[in-house]
Amino acid sequence: MKKVRVGAGQGFYGDTIYGALNMAKYGNVQYICFDCLAELTMAILQKDRQKDPSKGYTKDITVTAKNLLPYVKEKGIKLITNAGGINPEGARNEVVRIAKEMGITGIRVGIATGDNIYPILDELQEKGISLADYETGEPFTKSKEEILFASAYLGAWPIVECLKQGADIVITGRTTDTAQFLAPMIYELGWAEDDWDKLALGVLLGHLMECSGQATGGNFSGDWWNIPNMENIGYPIAEVYADGTAIITKPDNTGGRVSIDTLKEQFLYEIHDPSHYVTPDVIADFSAARFEEVGPDRVQISGVKGKPKPPTLKAIMGYPNGYMGAGMIGYSWPDALKKARKVDEIIRKQIELYELKVNDIHTEYIGYNSIHGPLAHPVDEEQLNEVYVRIAVHTDTKEEAVQFGRLFPPLALNGPPFVGGLANMYTVRQLLGLWSVLIPRAEVESRVQINVEEV
């Protein structure tokens, strides 16, 4: 029976290349798939492109290409990535540049575009299509000029079309996290657009793989101390058969663990309603999914059902939402926490004294409650060796955020004794607001374009 082996190569922008390299060397896979994008990533990429119109893709595609193009050429492994971000064409140009630099020819690089709906925002509104936030119902009142980016989530089928046109490497813009992994299963196993159960299974497999090592023992809250060779953790592989049989495993010669427990932890990640998991390709029902260990580091997945795909696609718009100013200062025993709390008191009173305009303020004590927040257990303050107080504010303007940061350096001499560390007093970051909408899928999919070129 025909099967395909699809490997995970990346779980986020900045992930290590070694997981993908191990996949290429030891995974015996036909595809390596990369999930690079998050909403924050799209904002970062848009800022990159504002500085340089040739940018707007994830910069680590350079490292990916340099390391993996030889395996594309020699082993015939295909790469699928949404590293195109805001600029898939620019990402392809970079891959082609590296291929030529390395003397690699005869490979085909495809791009799928059309996720960028920024150019048609006015047109959508003229057609009477609501851009109200689909979660809150709040009407959309921003002008197009206020929007940093606007991208709809595409599914697997544009990638499938690139593969049909012979692409060895497929680069997309915004897709769902699972689309990269589902597409080769559709293409290789001949799944139809209405094979809902199989498509839903592929979505679950993609969901289990999208976060790279998080499914193979990384970030594991079970007996994490027993995960073998975590320094060389292997990324997950989906071994999928035409009849819908599916097994998750990992490459030989790698660390980590594939078990029911490690997979179930990833399975529950970012799942709101397991009986109604909406994607552009299928609405998946995971509520009866079954996990069965069928060998060392081999877990079979079954019991997944699917329902027809939704009539709309989710789109995300990003817009400037003020600035963050922050400062951090540290104290050691004795009275470390008391000193840090005094700093918080001083800063809050100075905000009023100097009439600084602050929309929101947040204080955390690193070494005491910066992670657990209000759930942190009380400690013996007299025995606390050291603590850093970090205070952050949300302001409307960059100037106000800078003014806030300037409150911290004087504390070295004007505050409690004795400052043990002073950092980030001038950190100012522009904040991003996100707006989620549902767009009739025909408005987006009619604009999708496929282009495959040979190096």
| Cβ atoms 10, 34 nearer than 8 A | yes
- pLDDT for 426-441, tens place per residue? 678 888 889 999 999 9
At 96, the pLDDT band (50, 70, 90 cuts) reads very high
**pLDDT for the residue 98:** 98
Is 298 domain-assigned? yes
Residue 425 has pLDDT above 70, yes or no: no
Q: Residues for the chain: how many in total?
A: 455
| 196-209 helix and 260-267 helix, angle to the nearest 10 degrees | 100
**pLDDT for the residue 426:** 67
239 DSSP β-pair partners = 5, 247
Whether the pTM exceeds 0.85: the reply is: yes
Is 443 domain-assigned? no
The 3-state DSSP class for residue 317 equals strand
Q: Taking residues 172-191, what's their average pLDDT?
A: 97
- pLDDT for 137-172, tens place per residue? 999 998 888 898 999 999 999 999 999 999 999 999
- pLDDT for 15-33, tens place per residue? 999 999 999 999 999 999 9
- pLDDT for 366-406, tens place per residue? 988 888 888 877 787 788 889 999 999 999 999 999 999 99
CB atoms within 10 A of CB 216: 33
**pLDDT for the residue 145:** 86
Give me the number of domains the chain comprises: 2
Residues with Cβ within 8 Å of residue 273, at least 6 apart in sequence: none
**pLDDT for the residue 424:** 59
Tell me the two tokens of residue 419. 């400052």
Region for residue 28 given its phi and psi (left: phi exceeds 0; alpha: psi -120 to 50; beta: otherwise): left
- pLDDT for 275-284, tens place per residue? 999 999 999 9
**pLDDT for the residue 212:** 95
**pLDDT for the residue 370:** 82
In a shared domain, residues 420 and 304? no
In a shared domain, residues 260 and 333? no
**pLDDT for the residue 234:** 98
Is 62 domain-assigned? yes
CATH number, domain at 420? 3.30.70
215 compared with 412, residue with greater pLDDT: 215
Q: Taking residues 317-334, what's their average pLDDT?
A: 93
Residues of 80-93 as b/e, b for ≥16 C-beta within 10 angstroms? bbbbbbbbbbbbbe
Residues of 4-20 as b/e, b for ≥16 C-beta within 10 angstroms? bbbbbbbbbbebbeebb
In a shared domain, residues 331 and 275? no
**pLDDT for the residue 432:** 87
Q: Taking residues 304-310, what's their average pLDDT?
A: 97
Residue type at 139 in one-letter notation: P
In a shared domain, residues 182 and 305? yes
> Lowest-confidence range among 177-186, 188-197, 248-257, 413-422?
413-422
Which among 300, 275, 299 has a CA at the least distance from the CA of 288?
275
CA–CA separation, 418 and 197 (whole Å):
64
In a shared domain, residues 302 and 330? no
In a shared domain, residues 263 and 331? no
Average pLDDT across the chain, whole number: 94
| Portion of the chain with pLDDT greater than 90, in percent | 85
In a shared domain, residues 371 and 305? no
In a shared domain, residues 266 and 331? no
Is 419 domain-assigned? yes
CA angle 228/233/239 to nearest 5° reads 105
| Domain that includes residue 418, residue range | 320-434
**pLDDT for the residue 373:** 80
In a shared domain, residues 274 and 353? no
4 DSSP β-pair partners = 240
In a shared domain, residues 198 and 294? yes
Phi, psi angles (nearest 5°) of residue 22: -60, -35
- pLDDT for 37-85, tens place per residue? 988 898 889 889 889 999 999 999 999 999 999 999 999 999 999 999 9
Is 81 domain-assigned? yes
In a shared domain, residues 304 and 356? no
Is 148 domain-assigned? no
430 DSSP β-pair partners = 323
In a shared domain, residues 302 and 426? no
Is 454 domain-assigned? no
